[in-house]
Structure 1
Amino acid sequence: MLNLLSSYLRLGNKLDKLEVFDPILDLDSNYFINIKRLKVTETPEFVGAYEKVNMRFEQIGRLLGVSTKPNDKMYRTAISMFNFPEVNGICLGYSNSKTGSGMGGKLRDQIIGDAKQIIDAGVSDPEIFHLVGLFERGVGPDRLSDMIACIIKEEIVAYTLRINKELQITKKRYPKCEFKDDLLVNPYKGEPLLLLPTDILHELPIARDWEDIDRVCSEIEAIRNEVNVTIGKRWGKLAVGMKKDFMRDLFIKTPNILSEIIERYRIASIDKYDFETDSRGDYLAAKIANSLPEEFPIELKAKDVSSYRVAKSICNKFKDLVENNKVNELLYADGKPRNEKIVQRAFFCVADSYCNAFNIGISAETDSGRGPVDFKFETSYEDRTLVEIKLTSSSNLVHGMETQIQEYAKAEKTRKLIYL
């Protein structure tokens, strides 16, 4: 079951009233700390946090600027300062697992090496590291969010302690819960739970390797001209990683272009994310789905509890909830249909809420060798059911039914299939 902190501690809507993000304890939520929002926040603990982040990046830049060769003392110190393991306690990120991955040594070395070349080319602004997702493979807003969380962890802890005090989230009030240094230990992750104000968070884009490269290219004339001359119409067909490689080489070769991007970035602003309407749908899905099993239960006799019967019952319940209850809010935003990834996430939130009642396991996007199937329900190795979801607007609608789900069935060694 998706366990929201508010339901786990029976807090009602107290977190919402204080504009505290209500985390799902057993799964990461697809939002991230937005550094532009951190710059303008009025939450007391985070006033000055933006400057703290920039100071760290500035120090790293200065070290790289005076380094004369790779692996000298200054270079090694810069690498050691660019160490940002994921802060699992905040329950944010783009992971379907219980914990995230953080930044590995290979990616860290790659970023520092490229940053050194850019700085040597003449650009030393700390905002280089804000924009690292534009020119580094494997870096998106979630990675930057991890970096920021590491730098301001002290402020996050202070904020959490204040909220805990206001809401009486203490060992005395919750004697059955585990606490460490006055912080509630997340029972599903074993880490102290850290809270965040909603005003510094924003939606995490759907695609894993997304960066807003195409928008930047269209707005900066010098980049647009370079793309047209060098790549032309092939640009639209390039993979995201290849576009990032192009941008990295361009910034090193023509540092004034990066300087222009940084200047535009500095004056840009981003509005506070509206979690009540939640254009992404992830937060809304968890909030709505969390109460469904009690409000709209599924009744199955003990003899009917198999992965297929439970999965089919959940699919039928999902249909009923969409057509006759409030779950239709998860499929539309401002009257427009949400995309397939969000629909899948909505289904997962609803299905997971019910699976707990029947002791059925549900996994999202598992890959047994022929690509990731949307959902796998199982009670054992011999009893597993696959569910693949497609919007009727999908160009792969027929292919998904005739070929895709059949390939998944071979890999998972099951003939229990549902195409939703």
Structure 2
Amino acid sequence: MSRKLQSPKLFSAHFDIDPAELDMAGLFDPILNCDTPLFVDPLLLRTSSNEVASGECYDQLRARFANVVRLLDASQNPGDPAWKAAERQLDLSERPEACLGFGGGSIRGSSRPEALRTTILKTTKEIVRLGENDPEIISLMGMFEDGVGPDTISDLTTTAISKGLAKLTSEFAVAHGITVKNFPQFFGMPLPSNPYRPNTPVLLVPSDVLRDLPLATDWSDVSEVAFQNQLIRDAFNSFVGDISKATVSDKKHAIKRAAMLSLENFRALLEAVLSGSTNYDPNEDILGFYAFRKVLSGNLDAFRGGIAPPRTKSKEEIVRIVGEIIVHFRRLVEENNNWELLWSNGRPRKERAAQLLFFAVSDAYCQANNVDISPEMNPGGGPVDFKFSSGYANRVLVEVKRSMGAVKHGYEKQLEVYKAASNTDAAYFLVIEFGDNWDAKLQAITDLRNAAVIANEPASLIEIVDASQRTSASKR
């Protein structure tokens, strides 16, 4: 599937409602033509402030998982009727309706390998044999098994609670005059239709059940809550060996073996994990997802003017326009207090936050000034690059780095790989400075550029934006 995002469209923008209405209802405002890498964490449902989520959705999740556990308890061998019935209950299909996950520039759904479902069922059966029948054991599969990632847990949960999500979405849509249609496969409820996905409704999700990685698949969180129990900690250490050399796969196998030593061990782990899950905090917003939405949902009037449309479709013109966008981006950050969107609790947000903010600003300037150039980005995992293009041949890349990151490597190696892959020699290297001591890094990339210019070789342009913390205007 395509992993490039162009012209992101928020649910609130398409259906012409104030984003604050979604905030007040505690619902996440999804991008309709792209998945956001946040995930539904089943461990958060029972504590959600949304009554449908903590009530009906949580009951639906436990009922679905309880059926799987009951059937596995009755099964004598894999493949027998009870096992096959459990398979049917454990639906691992991707769920495009929530616009969440790693889909990149798409929300297309598909099915996962059958072997993955078999792995989950076998591990669940082992736990049932141990004597544990709490249906929430299925939520822990990402902790134990390779290949069971956050998207799998999230989609599994979304399927189990789809009736509850359909209800809260339908109630919100009808109350706010949003155009809806009936979807028979969603219990006949009137739901908004996704214009980028024919015959697919939108399911809104409460913000407080979302995480950037569900606890059961985020090793740092798992270890923090699980190792508070000495039984688990000691057993884990006996299996993992040298933890400094252990891979995530090694750690998963070790925590599984530690938990499966006894029912006491398993219940200690289950209790620790159930009490340790927290949602992705919109206020901290370490990855910048909410800051991104703030720019996308803002008034485009602030971005009008200042960029002359391209006079030709030449590469030189695109380089000029991208340069002007960077100038405006710098002004917004340095002079209009948008540096605040790059900080959280006195710490710089992660690099993805800076990349998302630049992308949102770029897209807003192109829209507001009717510039026929579409910025693209890769919103999923892996490298993130920005490509501005007009026609097939004329492309300009922008790579965004934080000053405390691997600046020299990014300029000398990473950006060159992207340029070669995009068949262009035109690029900007945009460094976001956070007030750290990075003079040596700046000198290094400046020397590299100067050497390339002297050798008459293509040299990526270097731009710097000062996002260091300022005091408020009233204190200055």
Q: Distance in 1 between matches of 2:147 and 2:355?
A: 24
What secondary structure sits across from 1:38 in the alignment?
Answer: helix
User: Which residue of 117, 122, 129 corresponds with 1:120?
Assistant: 129
Query: Do structure 1's residue 364 and structure 2's residue 377 form an aligned pair?
Result: yes
Q: Distance in 1 between the 2:225 and 2:278 partners?
A: 19
Tell me the residue number matched to 1:318.
Answer: 329
State the TM-score, normalized to the length of structure 1.
0.85
Q: Highest CA radius of gyration, 1 or 2?
A: 2
> 2 CA distance for matches of 1:258 and 1:208?
14
Aligned counterparts of 1:122 and 1:294: Cα–Cα separation in 2: 63
1:221 to 216, 223, 230: 230
Which of 8, 11, 23 lines up with 2:30 in the alignment? Answer: 23
**Structure 1 residues 36, 248: closer, same or farther in 2, change over 3 A?**
closer
**Structure 1 match to 2:97:** 89
Equivalent of residue 389 in structure 2, options 378, 395, 401: 378
**Alignment of structure 1 residues 228-243 onto 2, 5 Å:** 228-232=237-241, 234-243=242-251
Where structure 1 has 5 or more consecutive residues not aligned to the other structure, the ranges are 173-179
What per-residue deviation string (whole Å, max 9, x for no partner) do you get for residues 125-163 of structure 1?
A: 212112222112233444322222111111211212211
Once the two structures are TM-superposed, the CA of residue 310 in structure 1 deviates from its matched residue by: 3.7
Pair 1:359–1:108, CA change in 2 (3 A): farther
Which amino acid is 2:231 matched to?
A: A
SS of aligned partner of 1:359? coil
User: Which stretch shows the higher mean deviation, 308-317 or 406-415?
Assistant: 308-317
Residues 1:202 and 2:210 aligned together: yes
Q: Which residue of 1 aligns with 2:270?
A: 262
Q: Is the 8 A contact 2:43 2:139 kept in 1?
A: no
Question: Which of residues 286, 297, 314 in structure 2 aligns to 1:290?
Answer: 297
Cα distance in 1 for partners of 2:379, 2:283 equals 31
- After TM superposition, list the pairs within 5 Å mapping 1:60-99 onto structure 2: 60-99=68-107
> By how many angstroms is 1:165 displaced?
1.7
Per-residue deviation at 1:82? Answer: 0.5
Q: CA deviation at 1:101?
A: 4.7
Q: How far does residue 102 in structure 1 lie from its aligned partner after superposition?
A: 5.7
Distance 1:313 1:53 in 2: 51
- Structure 2 unaligned blocks of 5 or more: 1-6, 182-187, 431-476
> Relative to 1, partners in 2 of residues 1:126 and 1:262: Cα closer, same or farther, differing over 3 Å?
same
Provide the alpha-carbon RMSD of the alignment: 3.1
Q: Look up the match of 1:390.
A: 401
CA shift for structure 1 position 55: 1.8
Which residue does 1:132 correspond to in 2? 141
Aligned-residue offset at 1:44 = 4.3
Residue 63 of structure 1 contacts residue 77 of structure 1 at CA under 8 Å; is this kept in 2? yes
What is the aligned-residue identity percentage? 30
Q: Partner residue of 2:346?
A: 335
Q: Give the Å deviation of 1:81.
A: 1.0
Pairwise CA distance, 1:236: 3.2
- What SS is found at the alignment partner of 2:401? coil
Q: Return the offset for 1:80.
A: 1.5
Match in the other structure for 1:345: 356
Stretches (4+) displaced over 4 A: 100-103, 206-209, 269-274, 304-307
Match of 2:253, as an amino acid?
A: D
**What one-letter code is carried by the residue in structure 1 that aligns with 2:107?**
T
1:193 aligned to which of 197, 202, 215: 202
- The correspondence of residues 110-189 of structure 1 with structure 2, limited to 5 A, is 110-170=119-179, 182-189=190-197
Q: 1:275 aligns with which of 275, 282, 287?
A: 282
